[in-house]
């Protein structure tokens, strides 16, 4: 027996939302990596800034609030 249109549409909408969430999490991970790489390149010529890396890495880890996909 065929599912009612509303149920089918709801399932498709939910699946698309989940796919969008996974895509955005992946995009954020890429952007974070790119930002970290750029920061390393910019600060590489200043060896005395090495101690700052600890302070920069701590907030970045707390910023990730993406829930893992199930």
pLDDT at 66: 56
Most confident of 4-8, 47-51, 56-60, 62-66: 4-8
Structure tokens at 57: 């890495």
**What confidence tens digit (pLDDT) does each residue in 22-36 have?**
999 999 999 999 999
pTM summary value: 0.50
Q: How far apart are CA 23 and CA 21, in angstroms?
A: 5
| Cα 8 to chain centroid, rounded | 29
**Domain ranges for the chain:** 1-44
Whole-number pLDDT of residue 45: 76
- Give the position of tokens 């699946």: 15
């Amino acid at each position: 027996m065929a599912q009612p249109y509303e149920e089918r549409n709801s399932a498709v909408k939910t699946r698309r939302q989940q796919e969008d969430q996974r895509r955005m999490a992946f995009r954020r991970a890429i952007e974070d990596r790119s930002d970290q790489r750029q920061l390393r390149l910019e600060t590489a010529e200043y060896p005395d800034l090495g101690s700052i890396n600890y302070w920069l890495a701590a907030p970045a880890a707390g910023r990730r609030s993406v829930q893992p996909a199930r």
